[in-house]
Structure 1
């Protein structure tokens, strides 16, 4: 238990107050929270500049709460599903914890975990928690945790940028309340109808079984693993330079080939995360906007180069149709599954890399890629009975490597298959980097 030594209340006020239905993006993450029995907090900590005062931190928290309506959003939970309430003003706690004889950085990490693990009340709590570490009278570290309903990863980048620059421009008009109003309009209904037709066409044609039977069911049943690979990072950069295909569809194709090698069925069907910020008026909105799309890729009996080109073309259609009503999609899936017994929704795939992390880096030679091959490191990090989805893979760019994280249900996917999938990302990418014209190694059904 970490003792809070000081607590100050920070007053805030901002525009955009109101009550209404959840937007599609909010509904999507809400359904994930219900399935995973978690408020899906995102937390981080970092050092504060020397001389930072408590007033400085309070001003930062006040600006965050005042500037972004989603930081002032709570829920009303009822039989008809949740509704959102955006407040015009309020107060939020800022905690100060003294390190004493403990390392301040270690305390900051402990504090992050405590803030994430503490119970969360969607109807009463603000979706932001903030605290500072104090050591010998000086503030040393800032800790912040946010409910995933505040924003997705792309919106978080906007939030952090505006926290630093404090722009005087107004917040975008299309906040979630306004998004929900458009989504309920005839225009929103037409868009949703087109998206669902795209989904239905794939659901009716995709192979019924996505994964082999798990021969290694464990308890606790839900596992998390990490794979960090310098070779994967080098190979992806090499492929992009040699083929001219953008990094995102290249990684999507690499993932599809690796998945097909482990699970067998072709065509491969994947649910990639789509940020939806290419839509007019939504690029700078700090909110939960990203949704998982549905992508069908035939990767059997072709070259890697052809797989990359197919992924580029399929990704465009996937992105276009990844903005939809989650409740209507659930109804569609239930209806099609009733007509196609054994239908399994495909795995989730979330490419969270920022191309800026490797911008300007030299193109690796094939010799460099080959030398790094096989150097990836895999480790299981978490085993729990609180559920994840059956299979989710997140990919990030970290210092000197690409990192893939798998969350999976061992009663659906065997641990060995999940590890083979992540290691397969490196193997596939290296093969393609060394020879884009080589075959994918996936046999036609």
Structure 2
């Protein structure tokens, strides 16, 4: 085994040691109890996450913010009829994909429909020139991703197959967040591939029976609250987030009165060798790369805001029990990672703090984020997300590509970005251990050039912090030579100040009274 592979293995083992036992087991009595099957004779209550999504959908039923768009490129000889059968088998296997939502006695409840055959629409694109088909397919997938669901009357999932060539297709899938999360995406594509392969070969599907369905999990989660199992965790978060305030980044435009979901993204790469150094630094601190990348991002946010109390949201899978590993549904939970410091600490101190806070946060992740918001009751503000406005996620890529006899199925980027908060840093970890970055931003606040500059600042700060972890935060530079010259160079010329600004303005008005002074959209004022 090479030295590089051994180092990656060491980090993986360390991650297993530090986090998996806390994600997969736990110290509370409630976690150790198995998930029982729910009583189906009465209304089936929603999980906390479902209820939050249901409420947001009722608040703005036409919004596409909480739709999860997926696209898969299928290359090879595809039997469309078999794919349709596989799709229906997947819908039959997971109740959550056949669930509607209605009010029962004033409370939202799940209505699980029996399995039924659903057609898989196929867009042949016969009249579209060959060179245009890929772009048209992507446009159709993006259009579907903006089409809302009627959660009371429709199942929360739809799919469409777009034919680019006889051996090239795009499968577009849209699922409402009330029934889906990032973990579910991997379950969906792996199971769909297994079902297709078995049906195509005339065999029974090799998938084991699910021990529980999502409705069972929702009932179990609600029972924990009734038993008081969340009280200890609520106490932790109440103390941890006491006095938390909004984080306002310098923006290009004023914050709108109502936040919208329109977003865009900027991708960037880390310089050669930096990913390996991040792994080594994490290993030295007995932690994972998450606890190196997060404080670097928080240090950048501190530089932008001149604050030393930075709250950043992140996501936990929420699947802390083995019964939930193969389940499709809304299982994630949002956690608030708050870091604060006095003076001018070394970057190494922020890593230590992040490591400890990360372990504590996962220990207390049982509190659903919606329940936490209800408990803390932050000031209601329709212009920003509650408790955090900036997010950080670390995704491990790998396993999404499915190889079948004569077919390859892999993710296909064909949809735009949705900004779930002001700014989100997404770091993707490739199978070879390298990291790739993406900043997703609210277009109502930021211009693309601003976010491109942010990505360069993050990489520069991260490089310096990883090279020498003893560097104080104030010494971590974010400006490159050109930017530094711009802000430090003196004026190109100087002249004595003899008049005030308003006097100079009045003189210019007298010289050119009819010149355009202000332009706003189509309106120009002299």
Quickly name the TM-score band, shorter chain normalised. Answer: 0.7 to 0.9
1:173-252 to structure 2, matched below 5 A, reads 173=212, 175-185=213-223, 189-206=227-244, 208-211=245-248, 216-217=253-254, 224-231=263-270, 235-244=274-283, 245-252=287-294
CA RMSD of aligned residues (A): 3.7
> Which residue, out of 421, 436, 439, partners 2:469?
436
Deviation at 1:116, TM superposition (A): 1.7
Please say if 1:333 is aligned against 2:376. Answer: yes
SS in 1 for 2:324: coil
Q: Residue by residue, what CA displacement relative to the aligned partner does 1:180-217 show, whole Å, maximum 9, x if unpaired?
A: 222232566433222322221133243x4522675732
Query: Is contact 1:253–1:308 with CA below 8 Å preserved after alignment?
Result: yes
Deviation at 1:315, TM superposition (A): 0.7
Query: Is contact 1:183–1:189 with CA below 8 Å preserved after alignment?
Result: no
SS in 1 for 2:313: strand
Q: Structure 2: how far apart are the matches of 1:32 and 1:409?
A: 21
Please say if 1:403 is aligned against 2:430. Answer: no
1:380-395 to structure 2, matched below 5 A, reads 389-395=420-426
Could you tell me the TM-score, scaled by structure 2's length? 0.65
Deviation at 1:397, TM superposition (A): 2.3
Greater Rg, structure 1 or structure 2?
2
SS in 2 for 1:276: coil
Deviation at 1:122, TM superposition (A): 0.8
Deviation at 1:421, TM superposition (A): 4.6
* Aligned residue in 2 for 1:128: 157
Deviation at 1:233, TM superposition (A): 8.2
Structure 1: tracts of 5 or more residues without a match: 1-14, 358-380
Q: Structure 2: how far apart are the matches of 1:32 and 1:199?
A: 24
Please say if 1:90 is aligned against 2:116. Answer: yes
* Aligned residue in 2 for 1:73: 99
Bigger shift: 261-270 or 343-352? 343-352
Query: Is contact 1:53–1:139 with CA below 8 Å preserved after alignment?
Result: no
> Which residue, out of 181, 184, 189, partners 1:155?
184
Deviation at 1:112, TM superposition (A): 0.7
Q: Structure 2: how far apart are the matches of 1:133 and 1:116?
A: 14
Please say if 1:255 is aligned against 2:297. Answer: yes
* Aligned residue in 2 for 1:165: 194
> Which residue, out of 341, 344, 360, partners 1:317?
360
Query: Is contact 2:87–2:192 with CA below 8 Å preserved after alignment?
Result: no
* CA spacing shift, 1:158–1:186, aligned 2, 3 Å: closer
* CA spacing shift, 1:389–1:145, aligned 2, 3 Å: closer
* Aligned residue in 1 for 2:146: 117
Q: Residue by residue, what CA displacement relative to the aligned partner does 1:253-286 show, whole Å, maximum 9, x if unpaired?
A: 2221111111222222222111122345323322
Please say if 1:308 is aligned against 2:351. Answer: yes
Deviation at 1:401, TM superposition (A): 6.0
* Aligned residue in 2 for 1:102: 129
* CA spacing shift, 1:418–1:32, aligned 2, 3 Å: farther
* CA spacing shift, 1:172–1:308, aligned 2, 3 Å: farther
SS in 1 for 2:349: helix
* Aligned residue in 2 for 1:363: none
Query: Is contact 1:216–1:415 with CA below 8 Å preserved after alignment?
Result: no
Q: Residue by residue, what CA displacement relative to the aligned partner does 1:345-368 show, whole Å, maximum 9, x if unpaired?
A: 2224241421659xxxxxxxxxxx
Query: Is contact 2:423–2:441 with CA below 8 Å preserved after alignment?
Result: yes
* Aligned residue in 1 for 2:312: 270
Q: Structure 2: how far apart are the matches of 1:421 and 1:196?
A: 35
Q: Structure 1: how far apart are the matches of 2:122 and 2:255?
A: 41
1:11-26 to structure 2, matched below 5 A, reads 19-26=43-50
Could you tell me the TM-score, scaled by structure 1's length? 0.76
Deviation at 1:246, TM superposition (A): 0.8
Bigger shift: 210-219 or 401-410? 210-219
Deviation at 1:97, TM superposition (A): 1.4
Structure 2: tracts of 5 or more residues without a match: 1-36, 196-205, 400-414, 477-526
Query: Is contact 2:46–2:219 with CA below 8 Å preserved after alignment?
Result: no
* CA spacing shift, 1:437–1:69, aligned 2, 3 Å: same
> Which residue, out of 40, 45, 48, partners 2:66?
40
Bigger shift: 67-76 or 193-202? 193-202
* Aligned residue in 2 for 1:12: none
> Which residue, out of 86, 89, 93, partners 1:60?
86
Query: Is contact 1:227–1:423 with CA below 8 Å preserved after alignment?
Result: no
* CA spacing shift, 1:303–1:79, aligned 2, 3 Å: farther
Count of paired positions: 396
